[in-house]
């Protein structure tokens, strides 16, 4: 076969065919040391490098990428460990609370202290009168008013994150001198809607829909189960007016 015939045969091959052949025969270059040394590829620096050098360069890039990904995964794992410990401490305090205000105080201290956020709010939906005024993070509101002010935010079961409307933020975090700009909210459900748990930041965009809400859900699941019986105990403990005395 003449050189002209070889060149003609090579010209008939497409780059895709050559690539497919090499993929199907990954050991093609075994024993082809001279061929490997003669093959050159352009480099970012402008000089030509051998195929072996190019492979080494690619392997190093892949190694560096995997190393960065590993460092990122370790950092995420450590961050989640810290979140878990903070959430566990908060849940233990919530479980041990004797009153609604004790529970609200524990939540407020933990969210602003341990978690470093600007505000926490537990909105309890009930028309029943409680024997003591709500304090700290606890706010008692009528269910109809909550539905009117929060609307579709109460329909889901998972956390909703975002900036929300100004009226919604003001309803969730009343009486604040520095307004909340970003919110994460979880409806509290135990057979039916009993309230909402919300945390807020003064930094716009701090919470967004891409954020994970696993630990927030753990806290809200616990609150959903503890609030109804605690409210019932508070209502039962309210002083009963003696109607016979009133009739005199």
pLDDT of 70: 92
pLDDT of 10: 55
Domain-embedded: residue 82 = yes
Domain-embedded: residue 48 = no
**Mean pLDDT over residues 82-99, rounded?**
87
List the beta bridge partners of residue 197.
122, 186
155: buried, middle or exposed (CB in 10 Å: 19+, 13-18, 0-12)? Answer: exposed
Number of neighbours of residue 59 by Cβ within 10 angstroms: 10
Confidence of residue 34 (pLDDT cuts 50, 70, 90): confident
The answer to whether residues 173 and 212 touch, using CB atoms and an 8 Å cutoff, is no
Domain-embedded: residue 23 = no
**Mean pLDDT over residues 31-48, rounded?**
65
Domain-embedded: residue 46 = no
Domain-embedded: residue 131 = yes
Domain-embedded: residue 61 = no
Domain count within the chain: 1
pLDDT of 227: 85
Q: Any idea what the CATH number is for the domain that residue 193 is in?
A: 3.30.450.40
Check the CA dihedral 101-144-224-220 and report its sign.
negative
pLDDT exceeds cutoff 60 at 3: no
Domain-embedded: residue 118 = yes
Residues with Cβ < 8 Å from 129, sequence gap 6 or more?
Answer: 235, 238
pLDDT of 145: 92
Q: How far apart are CA 167 and CA 174, in angstroms?
A: 10
pLDDT of 215: 79
Write the pLDDT tens digit of every residue in 190-212: 878 889 999 999 998 888 765 66
Number of neighbours of residue 101 by Cβ within 10 angstroms: 18
Domain that holds residue 85: 68-227
Domain-embedded: residue 139 = yes
Write the pLDDT tens digit of every residue in 100-134: 888 888 988 998 888 889 999 999 888 876 666 66
**Mean pLDDT over residues 126-151, rounded?**
81
Q: How far apart are CA 117 and CA 126, in angstroms?
A: 27
């Amino acid at each position: 076969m003449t050189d002209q015939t070889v060149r003609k045969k090579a010209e008939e091959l497409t780059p895709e065919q050559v690539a497919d052949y090499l993929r199907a025969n990954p050991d093609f270059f075994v024993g082809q040391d001279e061929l490997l040394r003669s093959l050159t590829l352009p480099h970012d620096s402008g000089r030509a490098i051998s195929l072996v050098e190019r492979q080494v360069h690619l392997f190093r890039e892949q190694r560096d990428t995997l190393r960065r990904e590993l460092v990122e995964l370790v950092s995420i794992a450590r961050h989640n460990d810290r979140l878990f410990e903070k959430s566990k401490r908060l849940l233990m305090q919530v479980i041990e609370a004797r009153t609604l205000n004790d529970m609200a105080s524990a939540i407020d201290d933990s969210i602003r202290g341990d978690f470093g956020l600007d505000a926490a709010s537990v909105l309890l939906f009930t028309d029943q009168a409680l024997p003591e005024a709500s304090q700290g993070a606890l706010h008692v509101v009528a269910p109809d008013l909550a539905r009117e002010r929060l609307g579709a935010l109460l329909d889901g079961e998972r956390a909703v994150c975002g900036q929300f409307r100004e009226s919604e933020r003001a309803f969730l975090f009343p009486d604040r001198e520095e307004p909340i700009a970003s919110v994460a909210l979880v409806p509290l459900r135990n057979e039916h809607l009993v309230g909402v748990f919300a945390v807020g930041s003064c930094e716009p965009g701090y919470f967004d829909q891409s954020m994970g809400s696993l630990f927030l859900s753990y806290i809200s699941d616990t609150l959903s189960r503890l609030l109804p019986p605690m409210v019932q105990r508070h209502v039962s403990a309210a002083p009963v007016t003696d109607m016979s005395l009133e009739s005199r």
